[in-house]
Structure 1
């Protein structure tokens, strides 16, 4: 993959939650709000048993739904599962290097990553 350095790229958040990017000292650099469209993999489940009364399924992930066609100067932020399903897409990214609060909850990310 080639190196990427740009300040003119549009970031489209295809997840259901806000994504906050922070710098090395925890200051917010950018918050990308959800676009209202969620890219997801379709899933089929087959029950294979039970463990202590809890169903156990075999899940199969299929086609990615709600992922727009590539657009010049635009990248799409999606879930890791969705990104793994479309490795040929150079415009699909995930958040990387999670920042957590003192209770372990993710409150931001320091980077983007391409899968």
Structure 2
């Protein structure tokens, strides 16, 4: 049985597979996010500055057999900090995984990072 990949980000994720083919995973329409709270921290040369704290992950479904959830790196970090989950992954945007266009923008990744 193949794993169903559910993209919980607001944009498509392109995976470049080892054989060179690309797998595009479209957004599911549901977005996992980390709750944030900002507190005024003054200004830096006239630019407003806040201190931001992070809370719980929102919008991440409970684990389901045969389903893997793709989330942002920030959500992945929050899931790991909360104890981790083996069904949650984020695109690996490290230099040896990211595929970039001529402008330096990431257009695909070669692997995923697991939230463990």
The TM-score by the shorter chain falls in which range?
0.7 to 0.9
Contact 2:5 2:70 in 1 (8 A): yes
Say which SS state the counterpart of residue 74 (structure 2) adopts. Answer: helix
Once residues 42 and 50 of structure 1 are traced to their aligned partners in structure 2, the CA distance between those partners, rounded to angstroms, is: 24
Q: Distance in 2 between matches of 1:15 and 1:98?
A: 17
For residues 79-103 of structure 1, the C-alpha deviation after alignment (integer angstroms, 9 at most, x for no partner) is: 1111111122111101112111010
Match of 1:50 in 2: 43
Report the counterpart of residue 4 of structure 1 in structure 2.
Answer: none
- Whole-Å Cα distance in 2 between the matches of residues 35 and 50 of structure 1? 38
Deviation at 1:24, TM superposition (A): 5.5
Count of residues in Structure 1 that have an aligned counterpart in Structure 2: 108
* 3-state secondary structure, aligned to 2:11: coil
Q: Deviations over 1:15-74 (max 9, x none)?
A: 00001111468x442100000000000000001110121111110010111000101011
TM-score in terms of structure 2 length:
0.87
Partner of 2:25: 32
Query: Which of structure 1's runs of 4+ aligned residues deviate more than 6 A?
Result: none
- In the alignment, is the contact (CA less than 8 A) between 1:95 and 1:113 conserved in 2? yes
Kept in 2: contact 1:41–1:64 (CA 8 A): yes
The match for 1:95 among 91, 94, 97 is: 91
> Superposition RMSD on alpha carbons, in Å?
1.5
